Structure 1
Amino acid sequence: MQAQTHWILTQDQQKIFAKTWGKPEKPALVLVHGYPDNQEVWEPIIEQLVTDFYIVTYDVRGAGQSSVAKRIRDYALPRLSLDLECVVNELLPNRAFHLAAHDWGSIQSWESVTEAKFKDRILSYTTISGPCLDHAAFWMRDQFLNEKSKFFKQLFKSWYIVVFQLPVVAPTIWHFFNPDRWGMVLSQLEKTKDLPLNPNISKDGEHGIALYRANFAPRLLKPRQRHAVCPVQAVVLKRDKFVSPELIDEMPKWVADFERVEVDANHWAVLSRPQEIARYIAEFANKKQG
């Protein structure tokens, strides 16, 4: 596969490294990666989709080759949404596009999916293991009041969020990871050998911690009512060790056109089950061409 590379300047003067794949005349599809990954995590899926879509990927701020913002508040969800806007305005000017995202890419993409300015611009959204933090906060409150077992189940799965708030310990942890060690972790989680390695894992992990620090407390303490402006498909990973599938139950309250599919896989299904994930993304996008 051959990609065209691009550098995009954001509104706050950060540099975003992006790539485009395929033929521009095809329907546009933007893929947003999660944590602690960069845009390379999508390449097994791009192989499946590049003949049918014009694909845009980019390293979110703090990941891959994109610049690292210095202040924690520069990783807040509204700022990340502006980054997506800068990318699509530069690479897909005056074009509508489909959107798919994983993990933190999905969490941050919800900010755009629930913004009025993206209505009719985002044709469809496939979310994988990344709920809207506002929706999750409402769900957690409801479970605490009515079904505490589900509340504590998700709280237990989210232990790492507390660790990532520690100012020195959290970044230092990532200094002990190299690509091979991280690859071993992924292989154990996914029960799949020889998954693609991330050569930048130490830096991606260290800098991306700012995503947690900038967003979890504000959103969970003061959730906003956020309604989707486009059709949404949730790809539910039934063995996800970090995101409870039950969180998806909250989505239909906020999405008028909602569908869900289930995959018998763990959190990094984008690596361990790329053909299946790609098929779900393509099928949903083709139904929602507008």
Structure 2
Amino acid sequence: MTVRTGDGLSLAVQVRGEGPTVVAVHGYPDDHHVWDGVADALVGSGHRVVTYDVRGAGASGVPGDRAGYDLELLAADLRAVCDAVSPAEPVHLLAHDWGAIQTWHAVTGDALTGRVASFTSISGPCLDHVARFLGRRARRDLPAVARQMLHSWYTVFFRIPVLPELLIRSGLLGRIVARSERIAPPDPADAVHGLELYRRNLPRRLGNPQIRRTDLPVQILCPRRDAYVGTDMAVSAAPFAPDLRVRHLPGGHWVVRHRPDEVAGPVAELVAETTGDTVAPGLERARTLGSALVATGGRALGR
């Protein structure tokens, strides 16, 4: 199906299965196919899974300028998809990488008020939370901040004019990512378009962070070998998401591709908890860790 955005773009949306609705939002430089394994597992366990190509990716429309990649527009897109696929019932959100970044922005603002039952985030924190994390100056925080800045080198590179586009179109960047992360090379057009996510939003959000909170049930899944988003930064949301669960997963950044069952299981457990079923032991442990993080402002990392 196709969903129209408020500024006139078409979003390609895919719906499969029956049961509680899980809306999955992909990151950069992926399209909705990154969720195929997770979606199969969730459909098999009795869930209705909705995926879509975000603006500028896959079969969806491409904004005409950089402003078209603003987080406010991405949040409005997510609202439009939720309203189209589940107009009468709140949905459960699942998001990875830039999909998680935009979903955090949506759930900590007004875009999705009353439309969400739970949120599972993987490898993509709220940019406002990131800014506060990177601004920590306490001595005990400095090693974690320094590690994350080293992991985030690419965010600076992607904001350089022209050079990233040249490396993407040459195929070199795609081959490097494919070899290091064991994934298929990204579509060059999607990779080029998605650079505007970094260029539009990082200067605007990191330079002027806001206090953004949500009272939703939130679950953060932290891959232990994520080369881009360290656990310290992933849980920087703790002071702003008091109903928090945190789970550490085996695998790297693209855990959604490589270990789909490891992702689908925790999502299904959170969906079951919010619909009133018995809380799984793993989810109870995740809530205990989340509560410790909330109590200490995200500093008790529980490794």
TM-score (norm 1): 0.89
Q: Look up the match of 1:35.
A: 28
2:134 aligned partner: 140
Are 2:154 and 1:160 equivalent residues in the alignment?
yes
Matches within 5 A, 1:1-290: 6-23=1-18, 26-51=19-44, 52-116=46-110, 118-143=112-137, 147-177=141-171, 182=174, 185-186=177-178, 188-189=180-181, 197=184, 201-289=187-275
CA distance in 1, matches of 2:14, 2:141: 44
Contact 2:220 2:235 in 1 (8 A): no
CA–CA distance in structure 2, aligned partners of residues 94 and 58 of structure 1:
20
Contact 1:120 1:230 in 2 (8 A): no
Distance 2:250 2:86 in 1: 34
1:213-246 alpha-carbon deviations (Å, 9 max, x no partner): 1110111110010001411000011111101111
Structure 2: 5+ residue runs without aligned partners?
277-303
Q: CA deviation at 1:184?
A: 7.1
CA–CA distance in structure 1, aligned partners of residues 151 and 145 of structure 2: 10
Aligned residue identity for 2:195: I
Report the Cα offset of residue 162 of structure 1. Answer: 0.9
Give per-residue Cα distances to partners, 1:165-192, cap 9 Å, x unaligned.
11211122211238xx8477445335xx
CA distance in 1: counterparts of 2:275 and 2:105, whole angstroms: 22
What corresponds to 2:301 in structure 1? none
Distance 1:218 1:11 in 2: 22
> Aligned partners of 2:65, 2:140: CA distance in 1, in Å?
38
Contact 1:72 1:210 in 2 (8 A): yes
> Which one is further off, 13-22 or 241-250?
241-250
Contact residue 115 and residue 229 of structure 1 kept, 8 A: no
Q: Residues 238 and 109 of structure 1: is their aligned pair in 2 closer, same or farther, counting only changes over 3 Å?
A: same
Cross-structure match for 2:282: none
Residue segments in structure 1 that go unaligned for 5+ positions in a row: 1-5
**How many residue pairs align between the two structures?**
275
Runs of at least 4 residues of structure 1 off by over 4 A? Answer: 143-146, 181-184
